[in-house]
Amino acid sequence: MGIRANHRGVTAAAAIVAALAVARAEQQKYPAPGQLPNPYRLVDRWAQLPSTMNGGKWGEVIRVHVDRDGVWVFHRCFNVVPEGSATCVNRGPANPPILKFDTSGRMIRSFGDGLFDYPHGFTVDADGNLWVTDVGDRDPKFGQQVLKLSPQGRVLMTLGKRGVAARGAEGFDRPTSVAVARDGSVFVADGHAPNKFGTGRIVKFSKDGRFVKEWGRLGSAPGEFDEPHDLFIGGSRGWLYVADRKNNRIQVFDQDGTFIAAWTQFGQPSSVFVGADDAIYVGASFPDPAAKKGERRGIVVGNAISGALTAFIPDPADLDTVVRGTSASGIAADASGAIFAADVGAHNLRKYVRVSGRRPSRP
């Protein structure tokens, strides 16, 4: 990671595109979440945890992703302490942070104990390998890294310096999420709040882990970030979608970092996923004086090219029972359109399927 950065500023043309995109977004009016249809139903207790694992009860679940034959889950070792940022340190082999379920919801694989402090980002590449981030900065033996793991749990590659916050090409400052493009390029969202250097950026690496470039800084202008909490590469155009959480928007870029759009209609996003059919799924919250604690939470479904909204799935959790931590902090969908949501605050893993005859329209 010591290769010199090929850092370029935003060009004049990109700045014009950004300004036009923001202007269009401000002019467009979108329905409130409660005005959108909900063509999905919850599948009760889909994932079947063995009773030997924490009595069959979840702790904080941070990410979920699907592959060809099942569903992967990244969680915080069945722990709930500290609330909202539970640790895996000293949890032991009985509490593995990575689990795989088959399509029926039966657990078929588990591993990862002793690798993480604060599990956060998670994805699966085209070869079936897992990419994970550890935001932890509490124990110098863990954290500040991205790890590539085989489907059996063997460490294949690491990015960053374990336990050390860094800038530029030298490492990470609490890396929140990771995404892998079709050509193997690796993208990391860096800057979970609070962090040491006031970081808010996206970092790009080659498939063999060489630093390529970075873009963004802490701020609210197009191309800047304030806690980029999740990112995903997907859809027909291969765009990169960032859940820019504290700026209350989804930002969209091409894989060179050129700004395409900033969408505020998805609320305050914690997670984002884009399917091959250009459907976008966002785990989000919205201010709502009529809702409990003045906040409405749920999964927003829309179009990943136009930003149009098509559906809203209300969060079933009772906010009186959620002390700290968002729900739907991780989100994914399979080829059939079934949605999986990982809940940090509600300590749950959810699955939704479409109700027959109620497929949301695609603008």
Each residue's pLDDT tens digit, 20-38: 554 454 457 899 998 999 9
pTM for this model (two decimals): 0.91
333/276 Cα distance (integer angstroms): 10
At residue 350, the pLDDT reads: 97
- Look at residues 362, 313, 309, 304 and name the one whose alpha carbon lies nearest to residue 31: 309
Task: Sketch the domain layout of the chain as residue ranges.
Answer: 12-354
At residue 4, the pLDDT reads: 37
Output the 3-class SS for 261-312.
EEECCCCEEEEEEECCCCEEEEEEEEECCCCHHHEEEEEEEEECCCCCEEEE
Residue 82: cis peptide before it, omega within 30 degrees of 0: yes
HSE of 17, CA atoms in CB hemisphere, 13 A = 14
At residue 216, the pLDDT reads: 98
Of 99 and 324, the one with more pLDDT: 99
353/195 Cα distance (integer angstroms): 38
Each residue's pLDDT tens digit, 56-70: 999 999 999 999 999
Each residue's pLDDT tens digit, 271-323: 999 999 999 999 999 999 988 888 999 999 999 999 999 999 999 998 888 87
330, pLDDT greater than 90: yes
Q: What percent of the chain has pLDDT over 90?
A: 84
At residue 257, the pLDDT reads: 98
At residue 7, the pLDDT reads: 42
206, pLDDT greater than 70: yes
At residue 20, the pLDDT reads: 54
Rg (CA), the chain: 19
Q: What percent of the chain has pLDDT over 70?
A: 91
pLDDT mean across residues, the chain:
91
276/109 Cα distance (integer angstroms): 27
Give CA separation, 226 vs 113, 193, 210, 249, 315, in Å.
31, 8, 25, 10, 24
Contact 101, 71 (CB under 8 A): yes
337, pLDDT greater than 90: yes
Beta strands in 68-118, from DSSP E residues, in sequence order: 70-75, 98-101, 107-111
5, pLDDT greater than 50: no
At residue 11, the pLDDT reads: 46
Question: Which fold would CATH assign to domain 12-354?
Answer: Neuraminidase (2.120.10)
Residue 222: cis peptide before it, omega within 30 degrees of 0: no
